[in-house]
Chain A
Amino acid sequence: MRKLLLASLLAACAVQSPAFARSAAIVNDVTQINPVPVERVLVPTTIGEIVDAVRSHPGPVSIGGGRFSQGGQTATERALQIDMRQLDDVVDFSKERKEITVEAGITWRKIQEYVDPHDLSLQIMQSYSNFTVGGSLSVNVHGRYVGQGPLVLSVRSIRIVLADGTLVKASPSENPEIFYGAIGGYGAMGVIVEATLSLADNVRVERRSAVMPVSAYRGFFSENVRGNHEVVFHNADIYPDAFDTVRATSYVRTEKPVTVETRLIPGDRSYWVDRMAFRIISECPGGRALRQHVLDPIVFRGERVEWRNYEASYDVRELEPVSRRNSSYVLQEYFVPVERFEEFVPAMAAILNRHGVNTVNVSIRHATQDPGTLLAWARTEVFAFVLYYKQGTTDADREAVRAWTRELIDAATALGGAYYLPYQVHATEQQFRAAYPRADAFFALKTRLDPTNKFRNKLWDAYYRPGPDLPQTRPAAKVAVRVVPPIAPPDPEVEKRIATALSGVAGYKRDEAQTYLTLPEWLLVYYPDEYARFLKGKPASEFPYFGSIVQFWSFYRDAYNVTRGKYPFNWGYHVMVLVIGSSYTVENGIKGVYENTVGRLAEWLAGGTMTQEDFLAAEVAQDYVDFIRLEPWYEYSFARALKQLWAETDIFGPHLLRKWERKLILSAEYLVKAQYATLIKLATKAAYGNADTEMLALGGNVTPGALEGEAQVKVLKSFEDGSVLLSLPRYDEFRDAAQRLVRKGVYFREIAGNRQILLTSVVPATWQYDLSAGSVLFERPVLTDTGHKRIAINAPVPSLHRILIEIADREFEVEHIYDY
């Protein structure tokens, strides 16, 4: 019935009956960091629709299942994406033969619900049950099953639609080359539309868990797990960041009564505890130790007996973060021959620790040898290392991941191993071929079956080279990362010499984290600015005092999230932000309460007319904003404002009540601020000293003409490649100078020794970021102007000139460049 309702809904929306087609869509995967624009998405409900679409579509075709791959394996630009998730029926089932035939869009969970009443279970599937069968076949997944291996071992046959639209059956004995090419072939050979899978008995299993040194694990596995036919599931978790301890967990067949009565994990189960645990582990200081020494001993305590299907019905929702805007949990996987286990673990640990990877878990699985798929990841019996980690979503974050991923791939392939292909496409072509030595045979088969290179996705765009007459795909390094190279890459040797020279320049290097952490501080310029503008035309009671408090702390949280785990924690700066944020909160909280009660009453009594005091308050607010753009707020003379309030407005006049209400409340405000500012001034000078006024940057194309009229910009040093060390003013003057310089052709290579810089811009609320470089870290509406929003752009310094010019082209204003 549910499917019927869904189908009815889809039919009602259909553009192209009977299949539902959406045009010009953005396809993304679970990580939300690989958006791919496709021409349209087709959601077929019959195999015939797929045949028709493949035959008739002139351009590339991509295939999507559950979208749990993490590197664009389900799409490519301008493709017709076939979304298989509505092709999800059970076609045939035999309890006696322990066999089920299903459409490829069905999820493992749906099969489990079908076979569980017959006391049967899937022979092989992955740990989580949300994936589709078709997607899992294309990836040739594995699970935690002992004595098993790749999914292909449980597949009796498949049916596949080839590039010419023919529907063929393939099995180990019928069209075996297609069978072994399509399974694990990531959609390169055609659309797998049906599969016949082996089933096993749904038995009761008892959990057994042991903690041991990593050095003891292989021996433990050989003696207790490898040849033990009673063990159904097994995996071992290596605890980061020491990577020297393993918790090995097996689920062993038993006749004991179950302690978990439910046969499948309920589909509506809540996972907030699991998510919170992952968050604590990945983000809190000591989170990993807490897991190893407190959480896991609690989780694994006591006897636990459950059904095999229960243990195989995990839901990926347990891994989902609250938001993937600033960071995302991501997987990688490496395979190493079992006998090379002890060599790989320390190599992996060294790479992860050296790069400061936020590793949540490394799970060890075991797999027997692959029977012959062309892209076999288990060319021999292997241990799989499933790396679960957290990464940021910026271009810089992805570049960092790329670097250490390539090191890990080298470490695995050097030992005769491989890496897994469903994840981010970081490997070089050389690394891909080292891990998959039968790639040539695979590509030869693809050329034969798909001569026009119809079946494409970001993975094959990276590695498959079709004939010269066919559409060329893009090289590996460009995949999944938007990098606009605005300037020629410098010669590494020259760059090294420049870096050495710059390291001796006093005051050159600044903490990169400051570009993000200074944002909250600057909000206390923007909000008063908005307040000052607001007061010029509207009554004080209508200002969003409480909204601005909430927004301040939201921005602070966002800025902190960007820096957390990536940069050392800057206690001094956080304390400062907390002090000014708390001050702002108290001030606006009091004003919000007052203005919405007494203030509103006084306004009402004045009939909405503004008094001299109202105008003076607006003037002072503007004067304050103009002042704090250049000087610290605590230097502002509120005492002067108080005196002006009394000396420059009349004692008596129209709307006397409002007039005196304003006099008294503004006096109280200015008096408090005058004394508080004095205190903060004393404390700040004692704690931080005087702020400096110079920003150093490495620039290129700095011609004499570019420096004309730039009295505050000085060339301090020139280098052999033409780049120069510039001295620039700070804060707003830095922003203005940078904008003028880039318009004259100057670009920056580094600013204060950094390659990332934050800038904010106020843009129309409906505008979507379309600049050729940088990315939006976060955005929020301007509270006093609902037609605009404030966006925070993370800009690679070498692309800053491009971003500034493109913002100017759109007639938007750069609010600030956060110069650390």
Chain B
Amino acid sequence: MARTQTKLLALLPALSLVFGCLEYGPARGPEAGSALMTVHAASSVALVFIWFWIDARNRAYRASIFLKIAMLGLTIVALPYYLFRSRGFAGGVKGLALSIVVFVLTMAAYRLGSLFA
């Protein structure tokens, strides 16, 4: 399961690399409201949500319906909340730091993709 989660997280920068390449190719940058933007956003949120769903099950954490909705609708607020609730303070800080690293890697991959385009 842990390996699955790692793969999911690795998919985030991988997706961004692809979309950076695509969006900075013919369209010369991300185009507001485009299908590419929508797909990228939806797939990223979905990956994070699946990761959260697996993680919660592994930890036998009973996530409320509000948290589930928030993880889909307001991830950046709900994710730190979940990390601290499910792991305690020290684990939460560690989890948050890792989240930031994953985010930075994701965005760096997007930039890399744009450079390849």
Contacts and interface: CB of A to CB of B under 8 A. Distances in A.
Interface string B44-57: 00000000000000
Contacts of B97: none
Chain A binding surface SS class: helix
A645 B24 CA distance: 14
Nearest to A676: B74
A643 B30 contact: yes
B30 A644 contact: yes
A635 B37 CA distance: 14
Interface in B1-60: 20, 23-24, 29-33, 37, 41
B51 to A, nearest CB: 16
B74 A637 contact: no
Contacts of B75: 671, 675
Range, interface on chain A: 20 to 34
Contact of B110 (A643, A668, A674, A679): A643
A667 B107 contact: yes
Contacts of B91: none
A651 interface: yes
A678 interface: yes
B73 interface: yes
A672 interface: yes
A646 interface: yes
Contacts of B110: 643, 646-647
Nearest to A643: B30
B23 A643 contact: yes
A637 B34 CA distance: 10
Contact of A646 (B31, B76, B100, B107): B107
A306 B41 CA distance: 77
A15 interface: no
Contact of B111 (A639, A651, A676): A651
B48 to A, nearest CB: 11
B33 A637 contact: yes
A814 B110 CA distance: 43
Contacts of B24: 647
Contacts of B37: 637, 639-640
Contacts of B111: 646-647, 651
Contacts of B31: 640
B102 interface: no
Interface residues of B, number: 22
B74 A675 contact: yes
A649 to B, nearest CB: 9
Given A639-B41, A640-B37, A667-B107, A647 B76 contact: no
A636 B76 CA distance: 19
B65 interface: no
A636 B103 CA distance: 22
Which of A636, A647, A648, A676 has the most chain B CB within a 10 Å cutoff? A647
Contact of A667 (B20, B30, B103): B103
Nearest to B100: A664
Interface in A260-316: none
B77 interface: yes
Contacts of A635: 33
Contact of B76 (A637, A651, A672): A672
Given A671-B76, A672-B76, A675-B73, A647 B32 contact: no
Nearest to B44: A639
A590 to B, nearest CB: 11
Interface in A641-684: 642-648, 651, 664, 667-668, 671-672, 674-676, 678-679
B4 to A, nearest CB: 25
B77 A672 contact: yes
B108 interface: yes
A639 B30 contact: yes
A647 B103 CA distance: 14
Contacts of A636: 32
Nearest to A669: B76
Which of B23, B30, B31 has the most chain A CB within a 10 Å cutoff? B30
Contacts of A678: 73
B6 to A, nearest CB: 23
Contacts of A648: 29
A671 B76 CA distance: 7
Interface string A623-639: 00000000000011101
A667 B106 CA distance: 12
Nearest to B20: A647
A676 B30 CA distance: 20
B32 A640 contact: yes
Contacts of A643: 20, 23, 29-30, 110
B33 A644 contact: no
B70 to A, nearest CB: 10
A667 B100 CA distance: 11
Contacts of B76: 668, 671-672, 675
A667 B75 CA distance: 13
A640 B108 CA distance: 15
Nearest to B33: A637
A637 B32 contact: yes
A675 B74 CA distance: 6
Given A675-B74, A678-B73, A646 B23 contact: no
Contacts of B29: 643-644, 647-648
A675 B73 CA distance: 6
Nearest to B38: A639
A679 B114 contact: no
Given A643-B23, A647-B20, A672 B30 contact: no
A794 B77 CA distance: 42
Contacts of A667: 103, 107
Interface in B93-117: 100, 103, 107-108, 110-111, 114
A770 to B, nearest CB: 45
A644 B31 CA distance: 10
A23 B46 CA distance: 75
A324 B30 CA distance: 53
A245 to B, nearest CB: 51
B30 A646 contact: no
Contacts of A647: 20, 24, 29-30, 110-111, 114
A675 B31 CA distance: 17
Nearest to B41: A639
Contacts of B23: 643
Given A639-B37, A640-B32, A643-B30, A651 B108 contact: yes
A646 B24 CA distance: 13
A635 B32 CA distance: 9
Nearest to B19: A643
A643 to B, nearest CB: 4
A416 B111 CA distance: 89
Nearest to B113: A647
For the complex of A and B, the 3 pairs showing the least CB-CB separation, nearest first, are: A637-B32, A646-B107, A647-B114
Interface of B: 20, 23-24, 29-33, 37, 41, 73-77, 100, 103, 107-108, 110-111, 114
Interface of A: 635-637, 639-640, 642-648, 651, 664, 667-668, 671-672, 674-676, 678-679
17 contacts: A637-B32, A639-B37, A643-B20, A643-B29, A645-B107, A646-B107, A646-B110, A646-B111, A647-B29, A647-B30, A647-B111, A651-B108, A664-B100, A668-B76, A672-B77, A676-B74, A679-B74
Given A637-B33, A647-B30, 13 more contacts: A637-B37, A643-B20, A643-B110, A645-B107, A646-B108, A646-B111, A651-B111, A671-B75, A671-B76, A672-B74, A672-B77, A674-B41, A675-B73
